[in-house]
Each structure stands twice: as C-alpha cells, then as structure tokens.
Amino acid sequence: MPLFAGFAVAAIGGPLALPSILPGVAGDAMSSAGLVVLLALALFVAPLAIWLSFSRRVVSPGGLTAFVDEAAGHERRVVVAHGWIWSFSYLLYLPFTVTFVVYDVLAPVFPGIEPYRAALELLLPVAVVAIVLAPLRFGLALLGLLAAAQLVLLVVLAAVTLSHTGGVDGSFSVHEGGRTTLKAAAGVSLLFVCASLPLYLGGEVRGGSRSVRRWIAAAVAVVGGCFLLAAAPMALVPERLLDAEVPSAAIAQAYSGRGLAVAVGLLTAASALALIVAEYLALGRLIHWLHGPPVRTVLLWIAVPFVAVTAIQLVDPDRLYDDMLKPSLGALFVSQLIVFVLYPRFRRGALAVLGTAVASGLAVWGLYTLIAGSSST
C-alpha cells in the first residue's frame, strides 16, 4: 500500500510543478494566491467525492471508464468511446510533456544544456519506457521516492519564501474581485485532475476499494496542504520572479541560492516525468481492460508512437507542443465530464446532483477556457 500511496502523490501535478504553474493559471488573482488555492481545493472535493463514491463498488484497471460502464448500464459503444477519448488525451500528453520538460523546465534552469536538448528529447522517452517495462514494484518505488522528495522541497520552498516575504498578508483576501478569484480557483482546481490516475491500478492494490479510497483521499489532502503552504507566501513575491519561466526555481535562486534552485529545477523536471510514467501505466491497464491484450504488450505498443512523436517534435518543438496541448486537455475534460454527468445514474440524491453540478462546472470551465483561448489567438 505505501507503493500505491507514492503513486497517488506523484500523480497529482506532479506536486513540485504546481507552484510554477500557479502564476500562469491564477493570473491577476495571484495577489490572492492563498485564497485561490484554498478555494481550488474546496471545489476539487466534488470530483474527488464522485471518484471515491464510484470506487466503493467499482475497482478495476478500467478506472474512469469502468465507472462509465457501471453508470451507463454496460453499453459497450459508450464504454469504448469514453475509453478512447481518455486514451487519446494521454497518448498526446506523453510526448508533449517530454518537450515541456526539456525546453520549458530544464533549459531555463540549466542554460548550458541547450546544445544537448535534442539528445535529451530522444533519451527521456526511452528512459520512461524502460521504467514502465520494468517490474511494477520498481516503477512504483521510484515514483514514491520522487513523491516524497517533492513534498519535502515544497515545504522547504514554502519556508524560504515565507522567510523573505515576512508573512502571507493579503494572500487570503480578495483583491481583484470575487469573479476573477473564483475563475482562478476553478483553473487551479483542474490542476488536480490527474489524481484519478491511481484508479487504474486499483485492481492491483491490497485491500481493494477501501485502500484505494483512503490513499487517494490522503494523497490529495497531503499534496493540497503542501501546495497551499508554498502558494500562500507567493502572493507577496515580486512579479519579475513570478514571470520567470520556472517561477519556483527563480524564487529559490533569489531567496536561497543556486543550490536550492538546482534542486527545485531538477525535481520539477522529475515530477513531470513521474507523471508521464503514471499516465503510461494507467493507459496500459485501460487498453488491456477495454480490448484484452496483455498489459505488457499494450505498454510496448504505446512505446512506438510515444518515442516516434517525441522525435518528430524536434522539427518544431514550440509549434507541435501548442498544437497537441489543447486537443489533449480538451479530450481529458470531455472524458471527465462524461463521468460526472453519468454519476446521478449511479448514486441518487441531492448530494449526488450537487456534486455533479460542481464537478461538471469545472470540466465545462476547462473546455471554455481552451476554446476561448483558441479563438483569441
């Protein structure tokens, strides 16, 4: 069970990447960073509660698609459609996250790697495939170690930032209007959506449903708490640091020195790579559950497009990253929306309807921001 707990923590963000993503998502509401994250966690209770409710009865390699199967009355066409919408999202997500790590995380923190970026973009997916094909316990142990290190650095970063800002004055107050703050909170809440990835390993966890629900809830609580600690003092951080390509590393450099900046930069990159491993493992189990091939065979199938597309991205990394990001996120939000909308067919009552309304609202907001962003470019 500790291995599953580590996987669950690593799947959320990854945790150390969250402070660097926060300024871009919170936008004008960054002066209320503590309040934004607190509201985001409150909003995320709705999707989390839906997943945990489904998990009382359904624990399988099908993950979210198994929930749809149960709620839709085992209608095969609906199940397959949902499974491939979700799979499409993460099949795109794997390669463009490698590009993000190389060009948007490592390169700004370590400018000297510029001549080696192409080599890294080819080597990292091969390393990910090797980890995924290794014995499961090895991969989960590695994710667990990375998860623990990320949580420690989140707390260290929070302490360093707090010591230089002198407090969190105003971080839990509204500065740019309630509407702006709520929009920012909804966007930040969606950063936790990958917390559903551990569901796909639920069928392999000792203790079944009870363990799955307990450890996923605990992981969200722990990561959410550490993220809140790191986010609250960021409201008082100068804009020049928040506008850096990797804000958490820039803050570490300014407030502590190169040593902490290097640690934050490396572990932020590792957190994104750990998330790729988590997504890859989940994909293998879902496609196995949907269509029957052995999990290891599916993992080998996925390796081909993963490595190939990552290599193709070398032609124009920025453009291909932008082209793949929006359809990937769009498919992810649609797949989650289907789960949320079907939930009242699984569990009846006023609380189920309320949870569906809030969770569906988050997914719709995610789709709206993607469409609005596309039309404005």
d(CA 320, CA 333): 20
**The pLDDT value given to residue 63:** 96
d(CA 298, CA 288): 7
pTM comes to 0.95
- Quote the mean pLDDT of the chain: 94
Domain count, the chain: 1
149-177 pLDDT, tens digit each: 999 999 999 999 999 998 898 999 999 89
b/e code 127-150 from CB counts within 10 Å (16+ = b): ebbebbeeeeeebbebbbebbebb
**The pLDDT value given to residue 293:** 95
Using the Cα atoms of residue 230, residue 236, residue 237 and residue 240 in order, give the sign of their dihedral.
positive
**The pLDDT value given to residue 317:** 81
What is the mean pLDDT of the segment spanning 295-304?
A: 97
What is the mean pLDDT of the segment spanning 338-347?
A: 97
What is the mean pLDDT of the segment spanning 269-279?
A: 96
Nearest Cα neighbor of 79 from 58, 56, 50, 94 is 58
Q: List the structure tokens of 326.
A: 């929006």
What is the mean pLDDT of the segment spanning 42-58?
A: 97
| Sequence-ordered alpha helix ranges (H) in the chain | 2-10, 18-26, 33-55, 63-71, 76-99, 107-109, 117-133, 136-165, 178-189, 208-231, 239-242, 247-255, 258-291, 295-312, 317-346, 350-376
Which of the four pLDDT bands, split at 50, 70 and 90, describes residue 377? very low
Nearest Cα neighbor of 269 from 107, 32, 142 is 107
**The pLDDT value given to residue 1:** 66
Contact 360, 344 (CB under 8 A): no
Which of the four pLDDT bands, split at 50, 70 and 90, describes residue 135? very high
What is the mean pLDDT of the segment spanning 321-347?
A: 94
Which of the four pLDDT bands, split at 50, 70 and 90, describes residue 14? confident
Nearest Cα neighbor of 163 from 233, 93, 81 is 233
What is the mean pLDDT of the segment spanning 337-347?
A: 97
348-361 pLDDT, tens digit each: 999 999 999 999 99
226-264 pLDDT, tens digit each: 999 999 999 999 999 999 999 999 999 999 999 999 999
pLDDT of 185 strictly over 50:
yes
Burial class (CB in 10 A: 0-12, 13-18, 19+), 74: exposed
The gap between the terminal CA atoms of the chain, to the nearest Å, is 46
Which of the four pLDDT bands, split at 50, 70 and 90, describes residue 322? confident
52-98 pLDDT, tens digit each: 999 999 999 999 999 999 999 999 999 999 999 999 999 999 999 99
What is the mean pLDDT of the segment spanning 111-116?
A: 92
* DSSP string computed for 239-294: HHHHTSSSHHHHHHHHHT-HHHHHHHHHHHHHHHHHHHHHHHHHHHHHHHHHH---
CA distances 6 to 1, 33, 215, 303, Å, are 9, 27, 9, 24
Q: Residue 189 belongs to what domain range? A: 2-376
Q: Cβ of 259: how many Cβ atoms within 10 Å? A: 10
CATH code of the domain in which 339 resides: 1.20.1740.10
d(CA 210, CA 137): 21
Nearest Cα neighbor of 80 from 296, 338, 298, 353 is 338
b/e code 297-327 from CB counts within 10 Å (16+ = b): ebbeebbeebbebbeebeeebeebbeebbee
The 3-state DSSP class for residue 171 equals: coil
Q: How much of the chain exceeds pLDDT 90, in percent?
A: 89
**The pLDDT value given to residue 235:** 96
d(CA 128, CA 186): 31
Which of the four pLDDT bands, split at 50, 70 and 90, describes residue 374? low
> DSSP letter at 146?
H
Contact 233, 158 (CB under 8 A): yes
Nearest Cα neighbor of 229 from 296, 146, 172, 303 is 172
pLDDT of 21 strictly over 60:
yes
